[in-house]
Structure 1
Amino acid sequence: MLCIFILAIAFHGVPGFVNIPAIHPTNLSALSAPFSMDLNFDQPMVMLMVYCMSDLSTLETGNHLSCWQLIKHTVVPYIWSIPFIFIPGYLSGFILFDPYLTNILWIWIIHNFFLVCMAEEVFFRGCLQRAIQNGLTCYGVHNGLWAVILTSFLFGIVHFKGGFIYMGLAAIAGFVYGYVYYKTGKVVCAMIVHFGVNLLHFLLFTYPMAMAK
């Protein structure tokens, strides 16, 4: 029931929230498809619900790693994610190399980290991936990578509005975020990698996708 309610919030299906338009439909570059953005205050409710029900510390898997190990298991997967995500996206024509700076960068950063990456990682990695891993363990499956794969598949599905290519790219990215959480046990590490991938996309490629030919 909690997961259904959280998904309803993610798709803005719960009434009572006023999401403020921050960026009206516009083309960020000549090659980019139209982009718009609302400040969705319903999505952070996911984090608030988890916090009120328990404590955000319960999202941690208990891995006792040194600071250097946490950095390594965050930075290395992020570096590897760049070719695995952006090369297929480029070859498929979904994105094009199109570096640019825009005056909306600051509001995009605030929105993407606090209202997108944090909410999605708390739910998909901290709640869903952990629940799947615990469930598989009950059936004798102790390899946490299966939970990473299943969660990344679900992560790709919920991005269906962008089409099949976007779903595939989101699933690949979701695997990276899930792997980081699997190795570090820290949701914040998955958040950082998630935001890093999105920021690279925003700065160096057509955002949110290339203009349809």
Structure 2
Amino acid sequence: MSLDISMWIWLPLSLAIILAFANKTKASITLLAISLIGGLIENRLNISGFVTLIVGIAIAHKTPNLERKWQIGSYIFILFWCVALFLHAIPGFRNAKVLDAVITGPQSIPFTMYLNLDKPFIFFGLLFAYPTLLGNKRTFNIKAIFLTAIPLFSLLPIAWGLGALQPEITVPDWWWLFLLNNLLLTCVAEEAFFRGFIQQSLSKQFGWIIGIAMASLLFGLVHIHGGLLLVAFATLAGVGYGLIYRYSSRLWVAVLFHFLFNFAHLLLFTYPMMK
């Protein structure tokens, strides 16, 4: 585990995300600005990366109030901006490698983890561009949520049965860092994009079944680097997260279950995969 003084910039960023979910907009933006300026000071972000983020956030902020013909183009720009941030394709970021080829257990393959400064901004861009991103409070079907969680978490033992994973109960000493990073930086960005933006947008146009199916398939395809079996399991997991988002009408619930699934994988099975 490699941590240095520059890691402080992820603290205001994480707090900004939490406050955004609590609808504390001004405080969230203030902390976001502190994180950005800190990134410049600590050389985790250069001017080109800074400008790219500011331009993206500014366009996202204007998008809901644009005329329809301009709004469509703006959403297309935001879509590509988000994808570029996901792929770390925008220059100007020096994300922090905090875990370098660590092994959770003797049956697991080495695992490397970064604290990303680019990917979390997907959440903020979409939050400005898509005011309904966080969901609404019209419904909260707790029974349906937990009935969905059963097949969702069953994917882990099914993967064991297919030989993709092995049981391996471990509590690595960096579990707390994984928790903070996966919950606040990774799952928030992914759920904001795939469920809050893609699923919600497609559901409004084509119905909720199409919305969940397409968002889940896209979520699966971004895991193609792990092979077709991982794509299939990620797609099925995406269906679970999508249904939980639909039944809860709250993005934070989908984020929570996404994280809990990943954390259960870390603690109970070979992570990220078996040798």
Matched, 1:109 2:179: yes
TM, length-normalised to structure 2: 0.69
Superposition pairs of residues 57-206 of structure 1, within 5 angstroms: 58-62=132-136, 64-65=138-139, 69-83=140-154, 85-136=155-206, 142=207, 144-206=208-270
Cα separation, 2, equivalents of 1:81 and 1:185:
18
Report the CA distance between 1:135 and its aligned residue.
2.2
Letter in 2 for 1:75: F
Q: Which has the higher contact order (CA 8 A, sep 6+)?
A: 1
Structure 1 stretches lacking a partner, 5+ long? 137-141
Does structure 1 conserve the Cα–Cα contact (< 8 Å) formed by 2:133 and 2:197?
yes
Per-residue CA distance 1:55-98 (angstroms, 9 max, x = gap): 4xx12554513xxx454343332233121x11331122211111
In structure 1, how many angstroms separate the alpha carbons of the residues matched to 2:194 and 2:242?
A: 8
Question: d(CA) in 1 for partners of 2:250 and 2:121?
Answer: 20
- Residue 52 (structure 1) aligns with: 128
Cα distance in 2 for partners of 1:71, 1:118 equals 21
> What percent identity do the matched residue pairs reach?
29
CA contact 2:134–2:252 (8 Å) conserved in 1: no
Letter of the 1:111 partner, please give it.
N
Letter in 2 for 1:31: Q
Task: Look up the equivalent residue of 2:138 and give its one-letter code.
Answer: H
Structure with the larger helix share: 2
Q: 1:76 is matched by which residue type in structure 2?
A: L
Give yes or no for the alignment of 1:41 onto 2:104.
Answer: no
CA distance in 2, matches of 1:47, 1:188: 12
Contact map agreement 1:145 1:179 (CA 8 A) in 2: no
Conserved 8 A contact 2:220-2:235: yes
Amino acid at match of 2:269: F
Aligned length: 199
Task: Give yes or no for contact 1:74–1:190 (8 Å, CA) kept in 2.
Answer: no
What's the TM-score, normalizing by structure 1? Answer: 0.88
- Return 5+ residue gaps in structure 2 as ranges: 1-76
Moved more, 90-99 or 29-38: 90-99
Runs of 4+, deviation exceeding 2 Å: 51-55, 60-63, 69-76
Partner of 1:59, secondary structure, is coil
CA-to-aligned-CA distance 1:124-151 (integer Å, 9 cap, x gap):
0000001111221xxxxx4x12211111
